[in-house]
Amino acid sequence: MIRIDLSGQVAVVTGGSSGIGLATAELFLRAGASVAICGRNTERLAQAEAALNAQFPGAQLLARRCDVLDAEDVSAFAQAVQARFGRADMLINNAGQGRVSTFADTSDEAWREELDLKYFSVIRPTRAFLPMLRDAANGGAANAAVVCVNSLLALQPEPHMVATSSARAGVQNLIKSLAVELAPQRIRVNSILIGIVESGQWRRRYAKEAQPDQSWEDWTAELARKKNIPLGRFGKPEEAAQALFYLATTLSSYTTGSHIDVSGGVARHV
């Protein structure tokens, strides 16, 4: 197993209080990095902070409530990271969930909400942390990187998720543009494209829809078959986190403007 020492480096993870974000924070802490996480839900954020401190005693961890769609919140989060750690080397943009709707039943307001969420959950944190990422790169850091959690819908749209698919495609274009613009500044920008990954949202659906004697494993396996996932199961948060970790660190030092497919084989494009 390849091991990497991130001592002295700082990783920032938005949406870090659960799921993929929390699993990503765990990987960075395990590698010795200082980690800053944020989330909208104060209670869930406190639970995540307690769990991480219990798992990594003495770890350098900052947890702050932040709505990534609120410019003042994001600015305050960046200032808190600067005050606590003095730098940021890696930014993981991980926020937002899918909207189930067709073109016929998506209102103008729903379109605006979806586009606002998908774009500005990347734009605002990247804008806020870019000065620190530039400083890290200019200071001779071996690595400065932005990695975004995006969806396979960006390349393979679904008609029942028309607004999300469209927004995800636009975000993927934005990520590519950022990669080109920031490469001369020695800041790499990449993304992962996820399919179905276990989450609180899916757990809530399971609690609502599963038969009384149906286990989580059986319910998700049945759904995976219906959705034609070749690997026959949902992805796990840690599997997406491992791809994010790879793209955020020097393990992928010659990779920018690219993506990793974490969809269990659902992608049909070559």
Which DSSP string do the residues of 90-109 spell out, in sequence order? EEEE-------B-STT--HH
Using DSSP, state whether 159 is helix, strand or coil. Answer: coil
List the one residue out of 54, 50, 67 whose CA is nearest residue 14.
67
Cβ pair 257, 189 in contact under 8 A = yes
CA 101 to chain centre: 23
What is the per-residue pLDDT for 70?
A: 95
Query: Which pairs count as long-range contacts for 137-143, CB under 8 Å and 24+ apart, including other chains?
Result: 137/185, 137/186, 137/187, 138/185, 138/186, 141/9, 141/89, 142/250, 142/253, 143/9, 143/89, 143/90, 143/188, 143/248, 143/249, 143/250, 143/253
What integer best gives the mean pLDDT of the chain? Answer: 95
HSE of 155 in the Cβ direction (CA atoms, 13 Å)? 19
Q: What is the mean pLDDT of residues 58-72?
A: 96
In tens, the pLDDT along 205-233 reads 899 999 999 999 999 999 999 999 999 99
Does residue 196 come out as left (phi exceeding 0), alpha (psi in the -120 to 50 range) or beta?
beta
Model confidence at 7, pLDDT cuts 50, 70, 90, reads very high
Q: Which two tokens mark 245?
A: 């970790």
**The one-letter amino acid at 42:** T
Within the chain, residue ranges assigned H as helices are 19-30, 42-55, 71-85, 108-138, 162-182, 200-209, 216-226, 237-248
- Residue from 55, 53, 54, 43 nearest 18 by CA: 43
Residue 2's pLDDT is what? 65
**Residue 125: CB atoms within 10 Å:** 27
- Contact in structure between 53 and 85 (CB atoms under 8 Å): no
Neighbours of 119 (CB within 10 A): 16
Question: How far are the Cα atoms of 2, 24, 36, 59, 165 from residue 77, in angstroms, in the given order?
Answer: 32, 18, 9, 19, 29
> Rounded to whole angstroms, how far apart are CA atoms 210 and 218?
9
Domain span(s) for CATH 3.40.50.720 in the chain: 10-197+236-262
CB 240 within 8 A of CB 262: yes
Let me know: does 195 contact 150? Beta carbons within 8 Å.
no
Interval 91-129: pLDDT, tens: 999 977 778 899 999 999 999 999 999 999 999 999 999
Q: pTM score, two decimals?
A: 0.95
d(CA 99, CA 109): 13
pLDDT of 45 above 60:
yes
What's domain 10-197+236-262's superfamily in CATH? NAD(P)-binding Rossmann-like Domain (3.40.50.720)
Q: Is 99 or 14 the better-scoring residue by pLDDT?
A: 14
